[in-house]
Structure 1
Amino acid sequence: MSAREKIAYVKGLLDAGKPEDKLALSLFNAVVEALEALADENGELKKQLEEQRSAADDLYSICGELDADLSDVESRLGIDEELDEDEASLEDDYTEVACPSCGLHFYCQTSMLSPDDHCVECPDCGEKVDVDLEAEDHDAD
């Protein structure tokens, strides 16, 4: 039995029994009216909830379509998720160096530097350039 049916049943009992006390009758009628109002609100909330569920399902479907479209575009462009990991490892292996003599900015592989001497030769002017590895460590933080 639904809430509406139960309320109608109570209302029928009140109509059939008609308590002799007018105060009791008024009280019972007020309770039935409150129950009817609650049932109306409950019905409206159920309707709104169903609309929200439908909207959420639509959004979920749209997101799935967008994900598929993005995957298609990435595959056409040759973009691979593993590329991001490779780029991150390249950033770890190389450091940017600026030559104080000619101003050229270039990259050198930090793993190729000797532990004692952190100098590389500028590819443009041939000057020895000191590589500051500590500055790179602070930049990564």
Structure 2
Amino acid sequence: MKARKWGRIINVASVHGLVASVNKSAYVAAKHGIVGFTKAAALENAREGVTVNAICPGFVLTPLIQKQIDIIREKRGISNEEASRALIEEKQPSASFSVPADIGALATFLCTDNARQITGASYTVDGGWTAV
């Protein structure tokens, strides 16, 4: 990338790279590390035409999140829909899950020439989680 004077690096962190949650110290530390690495790498490559940014998703409906929903459902004896709502409403003001395409759309933009002056940034796709 440096030789070509053009490149895009996109790290996928998490909202937990920006805020903390109880009982997630190792995960939060790891995701904060990605955000810090993104900033340092952006500075190191700023004059090389290489941008480095991070995407920090909130709840994205994936198998990992489904496991959390299953735990809530079993603990409370409620439906999958009620458990999903309980999980999402706890953190994400939009009360809806992101989907992988939401993250992909932001990544696609960050790879364009229109994003050439965007580097060292961390963008949330979190339905308002970090706005509170």
Give the TM-score taking structure 2 as reference length: 0.26
**Which of these two proteins has the greater Rg computed from alpha carbons?**
1
Q: Which has the higher contact order (CA 8 A, sep 6+)?
A: 2
Q: TM-score, normalised by structure 1?
A: 0.25
